[in-house]
């Protein structure tokens, strides 16, 4: 009897379905369900746009606060592997650089700033395009205030610094170009005369060589205004000049490690006698009198490069006090 009962029990077990022999695992806890739900949403978003462009995926996993962050880290690692595989496959389908079209000249060209010139693929600065520390008249102060008051001491310090800047700029200029005052004054006076003569004729193209780019643009605009008022002008310089003196010298450095890579600006005051007369379209005198000499005072700024081969002096500005 015992053997019969044992045989019936074994036969019953063999006839049972497999899912009854091995019961299913218990349902996921809230922690596992939340992570799995986040992974499903992220995977769906990743298939459409990629992991890096999905606005939800990072917050869905990283922002989750569960009891065991190990599951979150594993999910992130899996997502990064999926995204890396997709990005590599996308890059493999892209056109190789060797087969891409060469850029057109208009795409490779860049705008060159005012005061610079493009030579091949190298941009060379021909002028800073501004007057560094323009000259202005310093208000005189009495002796007692200069030496016995704090404001006078500060003013004295400023004056000493200005003079040191002047001396340093001239010393660098003399060392690099062999500058002498007499030679420079002769060149500056010739340039002063030539610029005024060409302006009286209205010859703007010839002015380009002896003016910087910004100064040439300024003179060109002034000539347009003058031609709208007067048809022609007569200008004459009475030589020699009454007085020429240096008011300021400045050096504009471009590289702190190379002192020779710089521009020098010298501010000169010209006191001369001139004759001027303006005419309308009918040739009638509308302004001035060429028979009379007029004493004129001008302040011009001359500029020269210390590092360009064959550099020469040009007018870079005028100062009105």
Q: In CATH, what class is 180-319? A: alpha beta
User: CA-CA distance, 118 to 131, in Å (whole number)?
Assistant: 22
pTM score, whole prediction: 0.62
- According to the model, what pLDDT value does residue 25 have? 55
Chunked in runs of 10, what are the mean pLDDT values of the chain (321 residues)? 54 52 52 49 45 39 42 46 46 44 48 53 75 94 94 95 97 94 96 97 94 96 94 95 97 91 97 96 93 96 94 96 88
- Please give the torsion angle defined by the CA atoms of residues 93, 94, 95 and 100, in that order, rounded to the nearest 10 degrees: 180
pLDDT given for residue 125 in this prediction: 78
Q: Which residues contact 96 (CB under 8 A, 6 or more apart)?
A: none
Which residues are registered as beta bridge partners of 251?
264
* Short-list 59, 77, 60, 71, CA closest to 31: 71
Residue 263 main-chain phi, psi, to 5 deg: -120, 145
Domain residue extents for the chain? 180-319
């Amino acid at each position: 009897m015992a053997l019969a009962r044992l045989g019936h029990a074994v036969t019953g077990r063999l006839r049972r379905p497999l899912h009854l022999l091995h019961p299913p695992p218990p349902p996921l806890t809230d922690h596992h369900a939340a992570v799995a739900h986040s992974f499903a949403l992220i995977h769906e978003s990743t298939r459409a746009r990629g992991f890096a462009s999905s606005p939800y995926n990072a917050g869905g996993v990283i922002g989750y606060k569960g009891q065991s962050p190990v599951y979150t880290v594993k999910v992130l690692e899996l997502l990064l592997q999926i995204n890396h595989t997709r990005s590599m496959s996308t890059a493999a389908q892209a056109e190789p650089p060797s087969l891409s079209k060469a850029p057109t000249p208009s795409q490779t060209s860049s705008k060159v700033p005012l005061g610079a010139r493009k030579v091949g693929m190298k941009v060379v600065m021909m002028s800073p395009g501004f007057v560094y520390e323009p000259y202005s008249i310093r208000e005189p102060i009495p002796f007692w205030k200069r030496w016995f008051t704090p404001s006078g001491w500060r003013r004295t310090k400023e004056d000493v610094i200005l003079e040191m800047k002047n001396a340093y700029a001239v010393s660098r200029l003399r060392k690099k170009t062999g500058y002498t005052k007499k030679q420079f004054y002769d060149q500056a006076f010739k340039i002063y005369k030539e610029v005024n003569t060409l302006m009286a004729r209205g010859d703007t193209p010839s002015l380009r060589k002896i003016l910087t780019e910004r100064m040439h643009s300024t003179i060109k605009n002034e000539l347009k205004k003058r031609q709208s008022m007067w048809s022609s002008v007569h200008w004459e310089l009475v030589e020699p000049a009454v007085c020429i003196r240096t008011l300021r010298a400045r050096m504009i450095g471009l590289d702190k490690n190379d002192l020779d890579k710089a521009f020098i600006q010298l501010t000169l005051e010209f006191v001369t006698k001139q004759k001027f007369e303006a005419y309308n379209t009918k040739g009638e005198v509308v302004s001035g009198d060429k028979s009379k000499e007029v004493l004129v005072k001008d302040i011009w700024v001359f500029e020269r490069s210390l590092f360009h081969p064959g550099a020469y002096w040009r007018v870079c500005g005028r100062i009105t006090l």
